[in-house]
Amino acid sequence: MNNQDNLRQRLLQLDDSSYRAYKDIKGNYKFPDFTLIIDRVQGDPFASPSQIRVQLPHVVANFPSNLYQTRSREIALADYLTRQLDHAAMEVSSRRGTGNSGLIAITQIGQSVLERTSILIKDEFVEARLVVGLPARGRRISGYQAAEMLCEDIPKLVDKALKYQSLNHKQIQWQVETIEDADWLRQQLAQRGLVAFIANGSILPRRSGVDDRPLVEEAVAFQSPTQLQVEFNCPNRGLIKGMGIPVGVSLIVGGGYHGKSTLLRAIEVGVYNHIPGDGRELVVTNPAAFKIRAEDGRSIAGVDISPFINQLPQGRSTTNFSTPNASGSTSQAANIIEALEADAQLLLVDEDTAATNFMIRDRRMQQLIAKDKEPITPFIDKVRQLYTDYGVSTILVMGGSGDYFDVADNVIAMENFQPKDLTEKAQEIAQQYRIERTPEGGKHFGSITPRVPLAESIDPSRGKRDVKLKVRNVDQVVFGSEDIDLGAVEQIVEAGQLRAIASAIVYAKNQYINEHNTIPEILERVMGDLELLGLDILTSFPEGNLVKFRRFEFAAALNRLRTLKVR
């Protein structure tokens, strides 16, 4: 194998050659402490940067094995190292010429702790994946700069961010234990009859709509009302207390600007773990929770929305409903049915982003517009059936309509950012002020029929390329010649998830999408493969920018592909 000196010599020889000559350095190099692998070399200084890996044997990295011996701990440690490497890379990264010359970077990360391909802890070594902008002057190679980057800066980075001896042992331990506790808590929820838990002392508000870090100064820490308080004895942290939200139908009520949506948002992202200091590290939610909202304009492919929508104008079918341009209520209906198809167990709805006519239909409106003139059966008449027929719970932010008191098991009121249990009071009020509306939901929710997606309707190719995928932030992905808009799929928290989802759709098409497999069967297989074999099965060579996603977000992306056809 070539070594560090060979690489340096080659780079110096390449100085001033045309940029393409960099292709020559692809390969493996033995450094004193690690192996450097150059997987992909960019074609010009402005193209997306080159991809490299370093593999550091455990004897060198030297992490005590208890820091990565379980899956939970391994993900926590890898996440910690990703963050360290990110900081260190930002420090050493510097402009070294045209385009992205000099860039050293790792995948973008947020507040969640997720399985990612940026750092992998394998049996023999720790592997880190980076992108580097190979330096150029104009379109000529800067060999000296490149040698400095790859042969000096990279080893410095490795020393700083990937060796146990140079890292903060206490912090690592804390990260690993925090994540382990959160995973443990999430696992306990079902047997305790809960769908979510928010620990006392949690900080739920964020700095701003574009800054997901915790609000610092004016933040009011969360404190459970006594009626809903539960205790857990965590493996690391020991005894903690907080609010448990039971299974069934729960309302979050309260005045405007009192913290309702902030609480729901924390519950939404409670399907993921968060770094210590985030404020939501002990907020955990049933992992099969899915945020439901109205999303007018989305496309829908052959969904049976008849539990909610019937008798549309022009006799349009609602048992096999397709449209390139859904309304607020039909989109929300489809979002629910698709979530159920993917086996969601908890629906999260916020009045801020729900369609009013989907949520309520009061007595006066029932009088004015007869049932046979209104295609929509409102959610209020279906939400209990979801629980009794399918065991699917709902948490609903609803400050605007007391009609829901009749169907709620729990009513939590937010008052000055603190929760109160107003269940009894709401039930008294429901008795005292009967609303006398006519229930319109029938006896049962209705059936969920899994769809079979057709392979020919899923085409990732564009022009001469068989597969063209490109991710724009967390809300859009280019899939062949289609754009998939995921702006309304709110539990996608990192762009890397979307990158992985796009590749997973291609993977699913090649492996499992045929004339027979239903969407739930396809989800089961894809997620099973990822669990067993890791995210690397999704790409042709090891990439550092893939992040684990849930079955629900995979289904959401597939469902929003505008060419999708189903049987």
Contact footprint for ligand ADP (CB under 6 A):
204-205, 215, 218-220, 254, 256-262, 414, 417
User: What is the x/- site pattern for Mg ion, positions 352-391, by CB under 5 A?
Assistant: x---------------------------------------
The smaller minimum CB distance to Mg ion, of residues 261 and 285, is found at 261
Q: What is the DSSP letter of 222?
A: P
Q: How far is the CB of 251 from ligand ADP (least distance, A)?
A: 13
Q: Whole-number minimum distance, CB 350 to ligand ADP, in Å? A: 7
- Residue 184 CA to chain centroid, in angstroms? 20
Q: 265 exposed, middle or buried (CB, 10 Å; 0-12, 13-18, 19+)?
A: buried
8 Å CB contact between 221 and 419: no
What is the spatial distance between Cα 530 and Cα 431, in angstroms, rounded to a whole number? 51
Of residues 95, 94, 278, 245, the one with CA closest to residue 174: 278
219: partner contacted, choices Mg ion, ligand ADP, none (Cβ within 5-8 A by kind)? ligand ADP
Q: Judged by CB under 5 A, which stretch of 35-43, 165-173, 179-187, 255-263 contacts Mg ion?
A: 255-263
Which residue lies nearer to ligand ADP by CB, 32 or 256? 256
CB 260 to Mg ion: min, Å: 5
Nearer to Mg ion among residue 215 and residue 455 (C-beta): 215
Of 254 and 328, which has the nearer Cβ to ligand ADP? Answer: 254
DSSP-assigned beta bridge partners for residue 376: 309
In angstroms, give the least distance from the CB of 353 to Mg ion: 9
Give the span between the Cα atoms of 409 and 386, in whole angstroms.
13
Sequence-ordered list of residues with C-beta below 8 angstroms from that of 38, at least 6 positions apart, any chain: 25, 26, 27, 28, 29, 50, 51, 52
Query: Whose Cβ is closer to ligand ADP: residue 258's or residue 560's?
Result: 258
| Nearer to ligand ADP (CB atom), residue 83 or residue 258 | 258
Q: Which does 90 bind (CB under 5 to 8 A by kind): ligand ADP, Mg ion, none?
A: none
Binding status of residue 261 toward Mg ion by CB under 5 A: yes
Residue 218: contacted member of Mg ion, ligand ADP, none (CB under 5 to 8 Å, by partner type):
ligand ADP
* 219-113-57 Cα angle (round to 5): 140
CA–CA separation, 348 and 268 (whole Å): 7
CB of 461 to ligand ADP, least distance (A): 43
d(C-alpha 253, C-alpha 401), whole Å: 9
The least CB distance from residue 199 to ligand ADP, in Å, is 14
CA–CA gap between residue 57 and residue 91 (Å, rounded): 24
State the nearest-atom distance from the C-beta of 245 to Mg ion, in Å: 17
Q: Which residues contact 63 (CB under 8 A, 6 or more apart)?
A: 77, 121, 126, 164
Q: Distance (Å, rounded) from C-alpha 261 to C-alpha 263?
A: 5
Looking at 123-131, 344-352, 413-421, 546-554, which segment touches Mg ion (CB under 5 A)? Answer: 344-352
Smaller CB distance to Mg ion: residue 352 or 531? 352
- In the complex, the smallest distance separating the C-beta of residue 100 from ligand ADP, rounded to whole angstroms, is 36
Gyration radius (Cα) of the chain, Å? 26
Residue 32 or 209: which CB sits closer to ligand ADP? 209
CB–CB of 46/100 below 8 Å?
A: yes
| Contact region with Mg ion (CB under 5 A), list: 46-54, 111-119, 346-354, 438-446 | 346-354
Chosen from ligand ADP, Mg ion, none, partner binding at 220 (C-beta under 5 to 8 Å by type): ligand ADP
Q: In whole angstroms, how close is the CB of 432 to ligand ADP at the nearest point?
A: 25
**Nearest to ligand ADP of 110, 446 (CB atom):** 110
Residue 352 or 466 having the CB closest to Mg ion: 352
For residue 72, the minimal CB distance to ligand ADP (Å) is: 28
Give exposure, 280-298, as e/b (b: 16+ Cβ within 10 Å). Answer: bbbbbbbbbbbbbbbbeeb
Residue 289: name its binding partner from ligand ADP, Mg ion, none (Cβ under 5 to 8 Å by kind): none
Cα–Cα distance measured from residue 133 to residue 52, given in angstroms and rounded to the nearest whole number: 10
145 versus 261: smaller Cβ distance to ligand ADP: 261
Task: Report the relative pairing of strands 289-292 and 346-350 from DSSP bridges.
Answer: parallel
Q: Using the structure block, give the residue that is written with the tokens 């469902």.
A: 559
The partner in contact with residue 259, picked from ligand ADP, Mg ion, none with C-beta cut-offs of 5 to 8 angstroms by kind, is: ligand ADP
What are the DSSP calls for 302-341, one per residue?
Answer: EE--TTTB---GGG--SSSEEESS--HHHHHHHHHHHHHH
Q: How far is the CB of 266 from ligand ADP (least distance, A)?
A: 9
Binding track, positions 432-471, relative to Mg ion; x by CB under 5 A: ----------------------------------------
Interacting residues with Mg ion (CB under 5 A): 260-261, 352
